Amino acid sequence: MAESTLDVSSRESGSESLRGSRLGRSPDRASVSSNYVHVQTNGQRSIVQLGTFSVSLSVSDMVASREFYAKLGFGMIGGDGETWTIIANETIAIGLFHGMFDSNILTFNPGWTGLGQPAEEFTDVRELSTHLTANGIATSDDTTGETPAGPASFKVTDPDGNVILIDQHV
């Protein structure tokens, strides 16, 4: 296994390092600043901008789910309220989906910051798909080849079987 170093930093807090951790075939170095992950592997640096993070939950009863999350302080900010609903509490967003996904999914939205606000700069979902495929990560349900720009998506699955949706709306 290769030894890797992970640097986590932000504009506000400076830099912290975790040295000597064994991370298998992971990048030689990664650092986080703002919404960007800077990955350095074999001396080459690249930026992976995944966009806004949320959890997409597969729900069996949309009304019951919306009522439950309303009691936790979440309000509807998008969707049709029947098959899909986006809810938020301050800066936290959750997608509720009825009959659309088999299981819960981690979701990243390139081109968005915060709660669905367009980003000035972002890495296009097509570039992300190409980057991940080139680094040995298989994609599924990939629509990035259908159009040269705009909305598209793909999924990846982590080593534990967790599905991650990369879903660009802009």
Distance (Å, whole) CA 108 – CA 123: 12
Give pLDDT, residue 33: 41
Q: What is the pTM of this model?
A: 0.73
Distance (Å, whole) CA 146 – CA 148: 7
Distance (Å, whole) CA 139 – CA 77: 29
In Å, how far are 9, 41, 43, 138, 169 from 35, measured between CA atoms? 11, 19, 22, 23, 17
Was domain 50-170 assigned CATH 3.40.50.2300?
Answer: no
Delimit the domains of the chain by residue range: 1-49, 50-170
Tens-digit pLDDT profile for residues 80-137: 999 999 999 998 999 999 999 999 999 999 998 878 789 988 999 999 999 999 999 9
